[in-house]
Structure 1
Amino acid sequence: RDRGITHVLGIEARGFILGGAVATHLGAGFVPARKPGKLPWERVSQTYELEYGTDALECHRDGLPAGSRVLIVDDVLATGGTAEAAGRLAAGLGSEVVGWSFLLEIGALQGRTRLNGGSLLVLVSV
């Protein structure tokens, strides 16, 4: 709460459940980040690399007003590619990522090294 979070960006799909609860607790707005073509309305997209190709995340263009202070939430931090793409989505809309939150981190994959800006909260690291 002391970080002035205005919006929570939840990554598909478990990030919706976790992020929605966090947003409610913080009194912040909730914005879903989904696979391409799943959201109605005007969207922005960010691609990212996978071990076996590429993928993308989208959110509504009007979901994060410029100047928003964003917490990104998902269930697992592995390589960090999806979370990094979510951060680029937020930054591309003029928002500041002030934190990252995950239930589980797979430490050997060093995903945290790809996350720029803000603090990182992980409940369990393996």
Structure 2
Amino acid sequence: MTSQQNLDALLVNEELLPFPDVAEILGVPVTKVHDMVGAGKLVVYRKDGVNTIPAALLDDGELSKFVGGAITVLSDGGYEPAEILQFLFTEDESLPGRPIDALHGHGAREVIRRAQAMAF
């Protein structure tokens, strides 16, 4: 299985939002969503030529500081968007669960610590 197929399988049941929908949810212009991606606060999942943002990266209509922090740390450490998404959406029994879910709860600091260790 290729890394793209693996990522596709990880995200098959995730809600994937086009940029205009993300902008509406966050209450910002769509250009700001592009800026967030460029700044490493959000990461793009590209499938069939369409750029989307997994809804799980958002937190009740806001950009989660912990999700953005994990993405930034991994991106700064040389991880590509697909690799970041694989890390965030892959089950990890030691958390337990997926890092993306832990970032929305009490495991956020542990996920950030692991991301820092992986990136450097």
Normalising by the smaller structure, the TM-score range is under 0.3
TM-score for the superposition, normalised by structure 1: 0.23
TM-score for the superposition, normalised by structure 2: 0.23
Q: Which has the higher strand share?
A: 1
Q: Which has the higher helix share?
A: 2
